């Protein structure tokens, strides 16, 4: 009888854990119950004028077909330049959220391409790859830019938050020579570390409780999304990077903790710069330090003649 009760208890506990794990997988790796707020414009936003400009600017609509049959969407701002900035948005957002950055790079003389990551914005897909899956999509967008603007194209890739991590993951790939440099803003060091951190920060779980949950999510993700969370490392990709890199992070970031930028910065031996916006929280470095942000980015681009 005791054995039967024990087995029943273990079965119930195991079933409950599986249900909880599947729920957290949906919350972290799918668009489940999430809506971007990029369409909301507020006059209190220091980037308000930039975003209104972006909203009203005539944009080309681009598309891309993935090997798995997904149709991805992007917006393109033509400046009739040989220079193009590819701007990558954050988790559960879309290309419109990068409108403030688009204005900055357009003013610097760049065409601007803004993709919607798979399963976000207007792009198809069931699962979010946190940059690991999307890195191949970005390489294909790079090829489209070169096809449009020619072999003399000069391309930089810049991303914020998940887009920043995607940028770092792209940097370790074999890329066309037309890609000249990278800029990342508040990207995480690895997907597993970020989800482990969030499980503690948002769900108030201690490390002992977090570890089996994150491992379960990782296993589900491998089956459904094609990779274990530990594979998706910005740090490991940066070790293979050879191009100039600018790292930006808020000094008060408690969503992607500030210490992650130092792990990322230390991982690459390529030419590199780092700037910490002292009082900025997550993804707030540009709106809080607009002039200094623009000056930092422009100095980096000028230094490498981009």
State yes or no: pLDDT of 216 exceeds 80. Answer: yes
Look over the chain and give the mean of its residue pLDDT values, rounded to a whole number.
Answer: 91
Rounded-to-integer distance, Cα 84 and Cα 176, Å: 14
Find, among 103, 76, 249, 86, the residue nearest to 158 by Cα: 86
pLDDT digits (tens, 9 = 90+) for 33-84: 666 666 677 778 889 999 999 999 999 999 999 999 999 999 999 999 999 9
**Distance from C-alpha of 220 to C-alpha of 229, rounded to nearest angstrom:** 10
| Dist. CA 123–CA 167, nearest whole Å | 18
Beta bridge partners of residue 276, listed in sequence order? 249
Region 173-192: mean pLDDT is: 98
Say yes or no to pLDDT of 251 above 90. Answer: yes
**What whole-number distance in Å separates Cα of residue 156 and Cα of residue 136?**
16
Q: What is d(CA 152, CA 64) in angstroms, rounded to the nearest whole number?
A: 22
Per-residue pLDDT at 18: 66
More confident residue, 68 or 4: 68
Q: What is the pLDDT of residue 6?
A: 39
Q: Give the global pTM.
A: 0.92
Q: Are 282 and 254 in contact (CB under 8 A)?
A: yes
Positive or negative, the CA dihedral 122, 127, 131, 132 is negative
| Planar angle of CA 76, 270, 231, nearest 5 degrees | 75
Does 2 score more than 90 pLDDT?
no
CA distance 74 to 14: 43
Do the beta carbons of residue 270 and residue 246 sit within 8 Å?
A: no
Structure confidence at residue 268 (pLDDT): 98
Averaged pLDDT for residues 4-29: 60
Q: Pick from 237, 31, 263, 274: which is nearest to 135 by CA?
A: 237
- 214 class by beta-carbon count within 10 Å (0-12 exposed, 13-18 middle, 19+ buried): buried
Q: Please give the average per-residue pLDDT across 126-145, as a whole number.
A: 97
**Helix extents (H) in the chain:** 2-29, 48-56, 99-107, 134-149, 162-171, 191-201, 207-225, 234-238, 259-267, 285-288, 290-303
Task: From residue 53, give the alpha-carbon distance in Å to each of 71, 88, 97, 107, 179.
Answer: 27, 19, 13, 11, 27
Ordered by start, the domain boundaries in the chain are 44-190+232-303
What is the homologous superfamily of the domain 44-190+232-303 according to CATH?
A: Alpha/Beta hydrolase fold, catalytic domain (3.40.50.1820)
């Amino acid at each position: 009888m005791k054995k039967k009760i024990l087995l029943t208890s273990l079965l119930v506990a195991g079933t409950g854990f599986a249900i909880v794990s599947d729920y957290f997988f949906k919350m972290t790796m799918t668009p489940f119950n999430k809506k971007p707020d990029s369409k909301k414009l507020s006059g209190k936003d220091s980037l308000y004028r930039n975003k209104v400009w972006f909203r009203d600017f005539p944009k080309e609509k681009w598309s891309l077909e993935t090997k798995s049959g997904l149709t991805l969407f992007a917006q393109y701002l033509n400046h009739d330049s040989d220079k193009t900035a590819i701007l990558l948005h954050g988790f559960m957002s879309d290309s419109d959220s990068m409108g403030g950055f688009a204005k900055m790079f357009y003013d610097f003389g760049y065409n601007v391409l803004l993709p919607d990551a798979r399963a976000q914005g207007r792009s198809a897909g069931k699962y979010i790859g946190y940059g690991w899956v999307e890195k191949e999509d970005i390489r294909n967008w790079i090829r489209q830019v070169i096809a449009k603007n020619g072999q003399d194209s000069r391309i930089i890739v810049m991303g914020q938050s998940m887009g920043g991590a995607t940028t770092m993951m792209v940097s370790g790939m074999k890329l066309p020579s037309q890609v000249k440099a990278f800029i990342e803003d508040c990207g995480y060091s690895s997907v597993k570390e970020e989800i482990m951190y969030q499980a503690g920060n948002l769900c108030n779980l201690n490390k002992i409780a977090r570890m089996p949950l994150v491992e379960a999510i990782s296993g589900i993700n491998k089956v459904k999304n094609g990779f274990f969370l530990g594979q998706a490392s910005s740090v490991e990709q940066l070790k293979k990077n050879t191009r100039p890199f600018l790292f930006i992070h808020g000094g008060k970031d408690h969503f992607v903790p500030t210490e992650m930028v130092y792990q990322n910065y230390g991982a690459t031996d390529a030419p590199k710069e780092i700037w910490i916006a002292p009082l900025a929280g997550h993804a707030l470095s540009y709106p809080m330090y607009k002039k200094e942000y623009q000056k930092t980015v422009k100095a980096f681009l000028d230094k490498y003649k981009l």
